Structure 1
């Protein structure tokens, strides 16, 4: 009972202590490109076009902004004309529109740009603008630890266990674990209070479960999430198993 209480307390501390904005590096690229060209450039040189999920990330980007109109990764959802998604495929739960936006002038403004205040404005995707990229700061730790020990290690030596918020981030993490010594690698996924969540508080929107379905009622003890080394999907494992793991580096 004491160990369970300690574990729960550790999780609550972790959920409250780490902001996702500290887990990404943002980069301003002064070359002027269309939105699609900027997306390709960011995916080749960093992780993707800038993904903004909360107010803290807005504050993190403000010193980087140069005052010019600049592309970010948000674009209109092709399957939902009123919806918006990020370049990596994740839904846009956080919104930061400029007053009167999005207005879809002419019915052709499907991509999003920002200026000095980082407020969003929809625009024609064929415009050529500078742009903001981000890079996930991931590292593979080749030590054998339980999920809880991995969480403590990441928070003590780096920043946190990672969230995989899009297909782009999933594939980047997959490339990082090619040298893992275990077939499954711990991530920040945890089943707590009858739901799956990322331990740093990020929203669980993008999902890549084995079998394609969220395990609503995982078997007893299978309450910690992994990324499989060879299968490119998420798994559920006993939290007491000892495995390699990914951390966000500082």
Structure 2
């Protein structure tokens, strides 16, 4: 998963400075808080060589374009992404490099999910004291883990029959007919467990200890080739190839409030 995609999944955009004031503000904060010397920004050549555009389609000439001497250099046509240095200078570089990056979200688009205590309105709180988000963008198992982690959550783990019922209902009630992506396994969602000598949750607890071991008929049946975990839409567990793309559910544990359950559901103590 690349930087742009990660920011997209957070409901933000890959940062690029719009003007000198924004560049200065971000660089000042960066210098005060971070040790790294350069970052990828949301500028690249998606359509034509040497034509640099922002992630939202603006020419770099319309925004901050403080190129260093001799930049962009193209270096044989392999430098299609843009790096911002700590001194405010831009250089082009290879997109395949692994560098830090910053995601940007404007104040006008920032909403706080009070019940789940995180900046994502896609999470829904329920009476088990957990928040869940059903992702309609099919991903492989490892990408699903990364996305949930980026959302300050984790790939959902079933700990009881009651929680299985919650996930079944979430899955049932989430509209799926408009999903344009057709390259995924329908009928299952990735969950947070994996085979490593035994089936364990991503919190390193055996499935048996986690409290839920209801497999689908004939499951697990991968015979060592399907080592990641999923749930059929009916709530039964299924082993799945880690590379198989499908929907997934993230789980978030909000901090306990003093008024906790009753406050969240509008009930008197």
The interval holding the TM-score normalised by the smaller chain is 0.3 to 0.5
Whose Rg is larger? 2
**Higher relative contact order (CA closer than 8 Å, sequence separation 6+):** 1
Give the TM-score normalised by the residue count of structure 1.
Answer: 0.39
Say which structure is richer in strand: 1
Give the TM-score normalised by the residue count of structure 2.
Answer: 0.36
